[in-house]
Structure 1
Amino acid sequence: MTEVHLVEHAPAKAVPLPDAAGRALAASKIVDAVPDPYEPGLWRLRAGSKVGAVALDVPGGETTRLRITPKVPIERLFFLLGYSLYPHGWRERAVDVAGHDELLPAFAHAVERQTDRALRQGLLQGYRPAEATAFVVRGRIREAEQIRRRFGSPMPVEVAYDEFTTDIAENRILRAAVERLLRLPDVPRVVRTRLMHQRGRLANVTPLVRGQAVPSWQPNRLNARYHNALQLAGLVLDGASVEHLPGGLRMNGFLFDMNRVFEDFVCVALREALTPYGGHGTLQDGNVYLDEGGAIRMRPDLVWYGESGVPLAVADAKYKAGRPQGYPDADLYQMLAYCTSLGLNNGHLVYAKGNAPHAGHVMRRSGIVLHQHALDLGQAPAVLLRAVSALAERMVRL
């Protein structure tokens, strides 16, 4: 077995890989993979914004395990993920990672602990629509089905009713996440044992079939003790990546795209910080067009509208770090297009790291000012949220 450990956005690393595994990684776009130009059998791998763990099985060959560690601490990653899911109720210490510094072990431990807390009082029960053929009328008679199947015979009866059961969406999601983690490599043995115990608790719940959509659930006071567990379970199922590649190759992984994580956090945190000023925010607004004919659609990450529906501010999140020569010019061109279309005099680009907290550029002939802000993700969550609040205040003032 070949083990490869990379760090997000770190310099390329030369590792020995079978050609089939190297080509599969290159095709998957999980990392940048190219053959080493000087040493046969070596591949140069460079991690981008995707972090997590992947196992690649080559038929007749050895397994390659790839681990990509995020630059931010695991606890901070949990905070960014959790806040974007549950801004009003998430807390820094709501999820325990037990000191794990790798993403998959930390997530497996956190999911198991939250699942244990959710199930400690027993499995949640609820009503689920059910259909059956019975000799006693229960619920309502399915008249069309009765005629089609029974040809007028009164017995047995085709009925539909609401069944009070533990086989509900919340429990099915938890079981699917637990089983998903049990199939992944690098889950510590102690955590794997506890996950198997949780699977035993959920044994009477219908498992999700591979390819089946994850059932939806709505937070309420009845399933309050499940909230944290369901949020983490949803992350596990969203981050799942299993595919069969050409030639019988099989890739099994659990990945996050840090671009998406940062974008979600910035947009949700900014929307929450802007709420006290009135108006409402729209994420990924698809009703913004650059041309009068409505042929060139744009999707700003966040547009803040006033009470009358007039756009007041626009922001775009970029998971990029400032270089000595500054940020990419293409980001400024994109924001200039947003401001032009929305009729705004100020546009805001929010980066993950920069040489200065703020930089402004006045555009020629239009007077539009494009602002570049930097958030330090290494800060404590409370400090980070204060920085977002200060950014929201600046946007409102401008």
Structure 2
Amino acid sequence: MRPTTLILTEGGPPQPVRLSPIEYYTLRSLAIVDITPTLETGIYSISAGRKIGAVSVGDTQVIVRPKITDLNRLVFLLGYSLNRDIWRDDHVRLTEADELLPALAEAFSRLAARATEQGLLQGYRTVKDVLPVLRGRVLAGEQMSRRFGLPVPLAVEYDDFTVDIAENRLLLAAALRLLTVAGLSVATRRRLMRLRVALADVTVPTRGEVHPSWEPSRLNTRYHNALRLADIILAAQSFEHRAGDLTVTGFMFDMWRIFEDFVCAALGDALATLGGRYAIQHPLHLDDSLEVRMKPDLVWLGSHDRCRAVVDAKYKAERPDGFPDADLYQMLAYCTVLGLEHGHLVYAKGNEQVRTHTVRRAGVVIFCHTLDLAEPPAQLLGQVDQLARRIANRVPGRQ
């Protein structure tokens, strides 16, 4: 009898699983795992891919755990890539035994309960409506064009003091998404349901709707931690659809994107403290006719926006078929266009080794660095600061 739950660890060995043809094609299309047919009919070899999270395909749930065993570290990376003013372990306490999604739900439910225990935050929201009486100001143009100048009803615009504001909409959207996650504890689900009831007067998000943005302020201070975790939850890729006779639901994070965002934000900040400024996804062209576009992850700019250094973050080395050293070729192209003697590749420790490559007859040296993501937040940021200094020391004259 096949298992109903398949648990994989990022970077771990593949596991043989019996799947129907529709389950095979559905899992392959979701790209949360690497799946390969074996010599035995109906048996497939499945290993973790570049995503972490969980997906349910019919009665089978596939869980991909991160290689980082301490989920606090993962939440730290997620938070840093989305917001510079982040919390530390004292705010989100997760254990190694927790699964990622139920753990995030547990943390969010507690932070949201703490944020709303004094009542929901209220604020002014501009409302456009059609009313039988005057409220606010009349929208004269709309009244004449759509209401044909009739005296009533009136097209009006007014400011309403309400709980239906961006902050509460974000909490509601995150709560509704987490309620679809399998494996929640009874206490977590109960807290999320209480939050759902408390937010009954808040607009329910529609499918595909862009979530509202918020800005930290003195007025919403007690919401900050809950809102930052809500941003993380809503940034994950979630889906729910039917594939033939199968119901498919899921919730996934791209580890390469988490790592890339962290490196760009943290290393960029560290370089900026040494002078100049930095730019993320800086647009370049390889050719004089401006037809081949390139976007290095991070460039460090000095006076007159002259490029001091170029950095590309790679969670794992890219080795597409036929191009085993694609990262090096890409960095060489960046250095050539930018006129730099040094280029820097940053990998997650354990996925690649620290190396130095001197390109023959090109005058370019490519440095491969690593960051140990298993380190506590303070030590990890210390590694980033040391890396920034090493990069700065390679800059001739520090233009």
TM-score (normalizing by structure 2): 0.91
One of 16, 22, 25 as aligned partner of 1:23:
25
- How far does residue 85 in structure 1 lie from its aligned partner after superposition? 2.0
Q: Which amino acid aligns with 2:296?
A: P
Instruction: Tell me whether 1:396 sits opposite 2:392 in the alignment.
Output: yes
- How far does residue 248 in structure 1 lie from its aligned partner after superposition? 4.3
- How far does residue 304 in structure 1 lie from its aligned partner after superposition? 0.8
- What residue is the counterpart of 1:387 in the other structure? 383
One of 326, 329, 333 as aligned partner of 1:330:
326
Task: Check whether the contact 2:316–2:351 (CA below 8 A) recurs between aligned residues.
Answer: no
Task: Check whether the contact 1:9–1:49 (CA below 8 A) recurs between aligned residues.
Answer: no
Identity fraction in percent: 50
- What residue is the counterpart of 1:141 in the other structure? 138
Task: Check whether the contact 2:316–2:352 (CA below 8 A) recurs between aligned residues.
Answer: no
- How far does residue 328 in structure 1 lie from its aligned partner after superposition? 5.2
Q: Which amino acid aligns with 1:186?
A: G
Aligned ranges for residues 161-240 of structure 1 at < 5 Å?
161-240=158-237
Instruction: Tell me whether 1:316 sits opposite 2:316 in the alignment.
Output: no
One of 5, 9, 30 as aligned partner of 1:3:
5
- How far does residue 100 in structure 1 lie from its aligned partner after superposition? 4.4
One of 357, 360, 365 as aligned partner of 1:369:
365
One of 32, 35, 39 as aligned partner of 2:34:
32
Cα separation, partners in 2 of 1:70 and 1:43, compared to 1, 3 Å = same
SS of 1:237 mapped into structure 2? helix
- What residue is the counterpart of 2:268 in the other structure? 271
- What residue is the counterpart of 1:297 in the other structure? 293
- How far does residue 208 in structure 1 lie from its aligned partner after superposition? 0.3
- What residue is the counterpart of 1:60 in the other structure? none
Cα distance in 1 between the residues matched to 2:251 and 2:130: 42
SS of 1:308 mapped into structure 2? helix
CA distances 1:314-338 after superposition (whole Å, capped 9, x unpaired)? 1111112799xxx952211111111
Cα distance in 2 between the residues matched to 1:378 and 1:283: 25
CA distances 1:138-197 after superposition (whole Å, capped 9, x unpaired)? 221111222234433333322111111100111111111101111121222221111111
Aligned ranges for residues 149-168 of structure 1 at < 5 Å?
149-168=146-165
- How far does residue 233 in structure 1 lie from its aligned partner after superposition? 1.2
Cα distance in 2 between the residues matched to 1:374 and 1:238: 26
Q: Which amino acid aligns with 1:334?
A: Q
What is the number of equivalent residue pairs in this alignment? 388
- How far does residue 367 in structure 1 lie from its aligned partner after superposition? 1.4
Cα distance in 1 between the residues matched to 2:175 and 2:237: 12
Cα distance in 2 between the residues matched to 1:272 and 1:253: 34
- What residue is the counterpart of 1:46 in the other structure? 47
CA distances 1:239-268 after superposition (whole Å, capped 9, x unpaired)? 142142542433211111110111111111
Cα distance in 2 between the residues matched to 1:256 and 1:278: 34
Question: Which ranges of structure 2 fall in alignment gaps of 5 or more residues?
Answer: 395-399
Cα separation, partners in 2 of 1:292 and 1:310, compared to 1, 3 Å = same
Cα distance in 1 between the residues matched to 2:155 and 2:207: 30
Task: Check whether the contact 2:122–2:164 (CA below 8 A) recurs between aligned residues.
Answer: yes
Cα distance in 2 between the residues matched to 1:22 and 1:28: 10
Q: Which amino acid aligns with 1:191?
A: T
Q: Which amino acid aligns with 2:363?
A: G
- How far does residue 235 in structure 1 lie from its aligned partner after superposition? 1.9
Question: Which ranges of structure 1 fall in alignment gaps of 5 or more residues?
Answer: 58-62
- How far does residue 384 in structure 1 lie from its aligned partner after superposition? 1.2
Question: What stretches of structure 1 move > 4 A for 4+ residues in a row?
Answer: 354-357
- How far does residue 395 in structure 1 lie from its aligned partner after superposition? 0.9
- How far does residue 278 in structure 1 lie from its aligned partner after superposition? 1.5
Task: Check whether the contact 1:4–1:64 (CA below 8 A) recurs between aligned residues.
Answer: yes
- What residue is the counterpart of 1:253 in the other structure? 250
Instruction: Tell me whether 1:359 sits opposite 2:346 in the alignment.
Output: no
TM-score (normalizing by structure 1): 0.92
Cα separation, partners in 2 of 1:148 and 1:355, compared to 1, 3 Å = closer
- What residue is the counterpart of 1:101 in the other structure? 98
- What residue is the counterpart of 2:397 in the other structure? none
